[in-house]
Amino acid sequence: MSKVEPREAFPEEPDPSEPGSPAGRDAAACPSLPVGSPVIGAPVAGAAVVGGPVAPPGAEPRAGAPVRPARPVGVPPDVPADVPAGPGAPSRAGPPGKGRGDGRRSPARRREALVGLAFVGPMLVLFLIFRFGPTLGAAFLSLTDYRLSGEWDFIGAGNYARLLGDDLFWQSLGVTAVYTALYVPMTVLLALGTAVLLHRTLWLRGFFRGLFFLPYVTSIVLAAVIWKWIYEVEDGPLNAVLGALGTGPVDFLGDASLVLPSIAAASAWKGFGYSMLILLAGLQSIPREVAEAATIDGASAWQRFRWVTLPLLRPVLFFVLVIEAIQAFQVFDAMYVMTAGGPVRASYSLVYFLYDSGFKFFDFGYASAIGLVLFLIVLVFSLVQRRLIGREED
């Protein structure tokens, strides 16, 4: 058998210095380039070239090779590159109204906006009237001495000066502050603990969630009547249990030192269901991978809750605190039904004071001033909470 010589793996490259070779012709066409350097615009092997290679600056086109003119930056593909530019030149941005180049909306877009505004407009007008109308009316009424007969006199800041010197105002404000300090932590802790337990519960979670939310949808008057019966000294079930334990009966609603904690506990039972659902939704939105990573790092259950869950739950917790604080400052129904402001006005809140001024003594200007002061107090309290709790960490 004859011996077969192996072929070369790669063909011998042509010498660029030879005049007849393709590389030599390209080098001759570009005398400024050194011999052996890649030719600008030469097609890459295996790549499709649209319109042929772009001629390098100063080089003459090769015979039979189409030369594509350089396209300016920003010219759309459907516009020829040789279209003149300057004043009087055809526009390259396309027809007006079909893009954002002219800064104007198309007639169709404007028509859609007007139709949407026509549908929303009546409801928006009603919202502005019934939302800001009473507020502006109360602000004007607080500057007057308005009487039940309809007559009124403009007295300026007289109602506010009278308010600052009223001892009953400061007493009711102190009662409201103490009640808020008792109610808000009690409600938030109860809601947070219940939400954590429901988040960890896999069996009958929906049933318990509805059961805990049930007191929130009941009437506040009905809840106050039930808790007033529970706190009864002689026939109340709570005092019956305390009597069985050997403790004498306790007058929860008749003792000035116990009346606010008792009302706060009843109100917390009534209103914690809403905050529980909000916090439960926040807990379910936390990624499980974060807690799993903390568990792998050796964090305990309390450490995971303190350093992982609470920081991620911070926006939801801020919302719950603001909502519950606003509700605490507006407490009236529970105190009116359970104690009627007693004993010795120990449960006489600021809204109770507003109610008596406006609907018992018919001093509408003074009552309006109390309402605006309450609005400013709630606003400042919410801003302080935003500063301390709701601010995002840098």
The 3-state secondary structure of 22-62, one letter per residue: HHHHHHHHCCCCCCCCCCCCCCCCCCCCCCCCCCCCCCCCC
* Ramachandran area for residue 179 (φ above 0: left; ψ -120 to 50: alpha; else beta): alpha
Query: Taking the complete model, does pTM exceed 0.75, yes or no?
Result: no
Q: What is the pLDDT of residues 20-42, one digit of tens each?
A: 554 444 444 444 444 444 444 44
pLDDT of residue 185: 95
pLDDT of residue 316: 93
3-state secondary structure of 152: strand
Q: What is the pLDDT of residues 189-215, one digit of tens each?
A: 999 999 999 998 878 888 998 999 999
Q: Is 393 exposed, middle or buried (0-12, 13-18, 19+ CB in 10 A)?
A: exposed
Return the closest-CA partner of residue 335 out of 357, 355, 360: 355
pLDDT of residue 239: 92
pLDDT of residue 202: 76
Distance in angstroms (rounded) separating the CA atoms of residues 147 and 394? 54
Given a contact cutoff of 8 angstroms between Cβ atoms, the answer to whether 350 and 329 are in contact is yes
3-state secondary structure of 351: helix
pLDDT of residue 28: 46
pLDDT of residue 34: 46
CA atoms within 13 A on the CB side of 133: 7
In this prediction, the residues of the chain whose per-residue pLDDT falls under 70 are 1-104, 390-394
